[in-house]
Structure 1
Amino acid sequence: MRGARVSRFFILSSVSLLSVLGASGAQAQVTSREGIALQNQIQQLSDQIQQVQSRAQSAPTSGGSAPSAPSGNGDLVSQLLQRVSTLENENREMRGELDQLSNQVQTQNATLTKQIGDMQFAAQNGGGGGPSSAPASSDAPSTPPTAPAAADKPVTALELLKTGQAALKGRDYATAQSNASQALKLAKTPNGKLESQFLLAQSLAGQKQYRDSALAYYDAYNRAPKSPRAPEALLGVSASMLALGDKTSACQALQKLDSEFPSATPRVKAAVTTFKGRASCH
């Protein structure tokens, strides 16, 4: 009796597994040859289990054969359970392959849809862009002659100084610095180099590059220590050092200015007085 109950337990378990497997197979809706073959195997296995169940139910009524029934049924149930497990794994693998194929199809459809949209966009906008570029090519021959003429025109240091000084007045300090640097290279006279150097110092100060402007002002002073630009250059050195917070160096520049140019212009003298007050010079 106990062996028969065990057999019924395994049979019922296998029947449950088959029912679950059949349900999952139905949900997957497999129509391939492998799927049909798998369903046939499941049906055959279900029939075999039903036969075993019938034998198990009739085992207690047969007196002499009862002891041998549990052993045979147990082996058969074990085989059936193993086959159920194998079929379940195969079914799971097939469902995984189906899901993978479905994802690939969706990806390909999305890619194809995007390509079609891109082609339509290019067709709609490409037709309008083509004609608009044609008139531009017809006007092209009229513009090149003026460009080479401007490029071939020589630029002198004097012209660079004039445009640089105009840029300085307009507070375009970057352009003033560029013109001053080029004029400094092209200038051939001492006065041209001095004016270029002074413009360079002014443009650097305008950009608040005070350390560089102090050096540029002092270079302008060294180029012509006795020229009218010399006291203004020393004044520029003092102003740059004040901006950097170096009051000692600012006072030294002002003392040098007083000692070397006692007869400086009123404007320079007024600036010296102002800077001395800011630097607390003694």
Structure 2
Amino acid sequence: MSFRLIALLALPLLAAPAAAQVIESREGIALQNQILELRRDLDALRRGGGMAAPVAPRGGAGAPQELLQQMLARLGELEEEVRRLRGRLEVAENTNRRLAEDVEKLRGDMDFRLQQLEGGAGRPAAPRPPQGPAAAPAPAQPPPAAASQPPGPRTAERAIADGQAALGRGDYAAAEAAAREVLAGRPGPRRQDAQILLGEALLGRRQFQNAALAFNDAYATNRRSSRAPEALLGLANAFTGFGARREACDTLDQLRSEFTTLSAPMQRRVAEARRRAQCR
């Protein structure tokens, strides 16, 4: 959201070089007209024609020759001024081109991030297959904590409890599977808990952009619940994970302004998140 404001603020910068081009073009036209007039007068002198009486200096037969030298000097000055203005115009055009390229790049970056944060909201990201020899077992395999349970689907409460236990022992794939199991069912009171669990599991798997979507969904589900600060904190950590430190600091500022009374452990977690994001 803040990227759009940045892009809109950057657009007026293009007006300054354009205005400089108009002014310099007018000055160049005026100088060219003066040069043409002087050249016409010089041609008239060379053909033996006289200049207007008030312009020619008094005294002596050398007056036309002196006038000719003065006009030639003035002509050289005007031509030098034209070259100088052309140089300034080229600099202004190059600056204008660079600014246009910068704004276009900023727009592309803004559209990319908005698509991730807004366009993809509400669509859970597909889990990535396990990678490497240390990958966790497939989500279809029940975790050890659920081995003693009777056959049949787990309740949302049991799935979240199992997912939290898996998260605590670093089994992020099992924690993600438990969260998605709850989210795949009917909407219920534990949906926000499942979304936060999913975000934490994706953070553990370093899928930061998908984690940001999960935490954003958790916050949007209930912005005044007791777990809404936790969702904003997770969103800020996900932003920091993929290098969006400015967005992370903005999210932490939002957390501080919306929730003025936080528990001591939460305050310590927020302070640590601000330190990692290098917030002021």
TM-score (norm 1): 0.44
Q: Larger C-alpha radius of gyration, 1 or 2?
A: 1
Q: Which gives a bigger RCO, structure 1 or 2 (Cα 8 Å, sep 6+)?
A: 2
Structure number with the higher helix fraction is 1
Q: TM-score, normalised by structure 2?
A: 0.44
